[in-house]
Chain A
Amino acid sequence: MKEMDRIESAMQLQSLLRVRDEAAPIICRVSQAEGSGKWELKFEAFWEALGKLPLILEHLKGAPQFEGDNRKELSKIQQLEEKAIEAYIESCELNAEQLKDPNRFRQSKIVLKVSRANGYWDASARKAIALLRK
């Protein structure tokens, strides 16, 4: 691969990963709220996540098409990022319901959704690192 192609891919990847910068504070607040075990904190964090993450997802889906030799790999990474946020939003929806009416079935679904989101984020990171090392 030519150096200019590597640079172009890295720059496109950096702008794609802005989505993680936007999502990070929200996910961290959810994580902290869950750790605290406090109902009010959790309610606030899930409420914020459900308000902001769908907009971040829309923004991600509306991103301009990739260019260059690595566009297929970049598109795949984008898809994985989208799937991760979708799964995480679903986990927050279930969490908000769980706060009102807790049950074990829903709890297991939440764990599954979060683990699915993490799986997509990990897969996206692996693909991105492979692309950067090409």
Chain B
Amino acid sequence: MKEIDKKEGVKWLQSLLQVRQEEAAPIIDKVSIAEATGKWEIKFEAFSEALEKLPLILEHLKATPKAEGTNMKELSLIQELEEKALEAYFESCKLSMEYLKEPNRFLQSTIVLKVALAKRFWESSAKESTAFLRRK
């Protein structure tokens, strides 16, 4: 790979991962802290914020422009994993909101599943990103 392609690829990856770090992470942290408190009002507030903001972040993620002069095949997989992780996490928040109103076991197991799925996608995205950076 040419030097210019390397730089473009790394720059692109950095801007994609910034979305996770700077936009999504604070919201996810708030949800996590709220869940730990066990307080209904705090959880309601955190899920409401997540349901309002995560779709916008997802749109932002999907609209990340392609890196010019770079083979986007490898990078597209990382973008797809980030999108899938955020989608699964958003769904978990939607179900958590339902659970706050009317708890049931079906919702509980589905929420746990969705969070596990989101974590899996984030972990795979991190591994693929690291592999991409090491290859360069």
> Which A residues are within 8 Å of any B CB, using their own CB?
3, 6-7, 10-11, 13-14, 17, 20-21, 23-24, 27-28, 31-32, 35, 117-118, 121-122, 124-125, 128-129, 132-133
Contacts and interface: CB of A to CB of B under 8 A. Distances in A.
Contact of B102 (A6, A13, A28): A28
A129 B109 CA distance: 10
Interface residues of B, number: 27
Given A3-B127, A21-B91, A24-B95, A13 B117 contact: yes
B116 A20 contact: no
A132 B120 contact: yes
Contacts of A11: 84
Interface of B: 77, 81, 84, 88, 91, 95, 98, 101-102, 104-107, 109-110, 112-114, 116-117, 119-121, 124, 127-128, 131
A14 B84 contact: yes
B101 A27 contact: no
